[in-house]
Structure 1
């Protein structure tokens, strides 16, 4: 999934350099003249953006409305690291001619990454994500830590932080019972179908699929290599596009204050966790 590569390869951002400066108002004025806000979203990234639906898409639509603009979505496949995505979708454009957008959704709001991403401005944190364990209470009635998973079938998404920590925990103690799926959603559907005992995944993914089913319970996942504090996501624009960043930040603040942001998340079964 896109965000995992952000966690596992942050130093690629150090390759980004400063962009030439121009009028801070130029890009926003052009957007208002054209009447369109181009927003880049990740493909196959449920519940945030998949098959033209998701939290990030609804949020992009609400932001465009706040700015009095029409929304134009630019769905794209995640690159090898965040540096690729920022280059292709924010400050330069893909060499095949796709992009850049005016704003990229779901960007890590992390001081270390922001210091390295000098051609972009990362701002407007709107969600605090973390990894959770969801278990079938009929098979695992109580969860008292990772040892409760001994002998249990646990699903994870391939190339994810969940897979990394689950496979490596206690020198691979649980490896033989870890089941790997193309996406977390597929693992969660297998859990609902009774083919798994538990799934380790992002809280947003779990909530969007489980939908408060009483047969399943969420627990805080404490693993040796898992960052317990989680991570925060926001947006990115070109570094010199200051006025657009200010306008989007103000619009995001308004959506949060009015409760509309929480409603967008709730529409997809996810509880809004503000940074």
Structure 2
């Protein structure tokens, strides 16, 4: 009886302590280091993650808090493709010895892409990204219709794009390459935005969230989402990835994300960085 009573008191104390902890903290999922959620985010990728700040960083911290964990943010440079990023930061680790994270942010939630990466579980869409063009309305009219109509202006005006991106590939090949001479490459969307502010280019093509973040203080420029038929990829949901067998962690993160979205905190995180949150 004494042992039974002691067991009951321990259990009751655990339940009371659990009631005082953040949501989901009483039954924490398995993580690499007790009390810590190690989160991988892209380096130098404003407005999502750059030097310890950004949308993905703030969201990761909020997710960890709801799980009763401390967020350890790991910024890493993008590899040649996202398959490599998932291998390095989620399921295996980097060949230089860097260990993987518990979860990686900013992963496209796409069935075909997920099928190519069966060592990870991709889940939790938290934002719908789209391709857009920021433009100087005094030099570039509203971008609408087919590429032949919407982009005719770029036979005369220069447009900036980030190196090695979908926007770069599209602008170099659309209209049978007619615009190639007026496509200017930059190392980042931020650099392209700075060039546009100086008048060196009249438009910038990139993911809309990056454009909104880059031009949040420059309201004189317009941003148009692209929907033209020639654009193969118009939008994609952004989510998270964990190791394929970490189902409990994926479930806990999904529940925490739902709480964050219901409370309005997710929209506030995006707004604080000058970006409009779009529900996938």
Bin for the TM-score computed over the shorter chain: 0.7 to 0.9
- Provide the secondary structure at the position in 1 that maps to 2:194: helix
Give me the whole-angstrom Cα distance separating, in 2, the residues matched to 1:130 and 1:122: 19
Give me the whole-angstrom Cα distance separating, in 2, the residues matched to 1:150 and 1:193: 20
Give me the whole-angstrom Cα distance separating, in 1, the residues matched to 2:142 and 2:80: 39
RMSD of aligned alpha carbons: 1.9
In structure 1, list runs of 5 or more residues that go unmatched.
Answer: 1-26
Distance apart, 1:96 and its partner CA: 2.1
Give me the whole-angstrom Cα distance separating, in 1, the residues matched to 2:84 and 2:32: 28
Give me the whole-angstrom Cα distance separating, in 2, the residues matched to 1:83 and 1:28: 28
Distance apart, 1:250 and its partner CA: 0.4
1:189 alignment counterpart: 194
Post-superposition Cα deviations, 1:132-151, rounded to whole Å, max 9, x if no partner, equal: 11110122244451223330
Distance apart, 1:229 and its partner CA: 3.4
Aligned length: 249
Contact 1:109 1:234 in 2 (8 A): yes
Change over 3 Å in CA distance of 1:149–1:29 after alignment to 2: closer
Give me the whole-angstrom Cα distance separating, in 1, the residues matched to 2:270 and 2:198: 25
Are 1:235 and 2:236 matched, yes or no?
Answer: no
- Residue correspondence of structure 1 range 37-186 to structure 2 within 5 A: 37-144=37-144, 145-186=150-191
Change over 3 Å in CA distance of 1:244–1:143 after alignment to 2: closer
Which stretch has the larger CA shift, 254-263 or 75-84?
75-84
Contact 1:28 1:241 in 2 (8 A): no
Change over 3 Å in CA distance of 1:171–1:235 after alignment to 2: same
Distance apart, 1:211 and its partner CA: 1.4
Give me the whole-angstrom Cα distance separating, in 1, the residues matched to 2:118 and 2:32: 26
Contact 1:191 1:197 in 2 (8 A): yes
Distance apart, 1:205 and its partner CA: 0.9
Change over 3 Å in CA distance of 1:156–1:165 after alignment to 2: same
Distance apart, 1:246 and its partner CA: 0.6
Contact 2:227 2:234 in 1 (8 A): no
- Provide the secondary structure at the position in 2 that maps to 1:199: strand
Contact 2:142 2:224 in 1 (8 A): no
Give me the whole-angstrom Cα distance separating, in 2, the residues matched to 1:175 and 1:135: 18
Post-superposition Cα deviations, 1:189-228, rounded to whole Å, max 9, x if no partner, equal: 1112222111111101110011174421122325565235
Of 267, 270, 278, the match for 1:262: 267
Contact 1:146 1:222 in 2 (8 A): no
Give me the whole-angstrom Cα distance separating, in 2, the residues matched to 1:163 and 1:223: 16
- Residue correspondence of structure 1 range 190-209 to structure 2 within 5 A: 190-209=195-214
Give me the whole-angstrom Cα distance separating, in 2, the residues matched to 1:32 and 1:135: 46
Q: When the two structures are superposed, what TM-score results if normalisation uses the length of structure 1?
A: 0.85
- Provide the secondary structure at the position in 2 that maps to 1:226: coil
Distance apart, 1:75 and its partner CA: 1.3
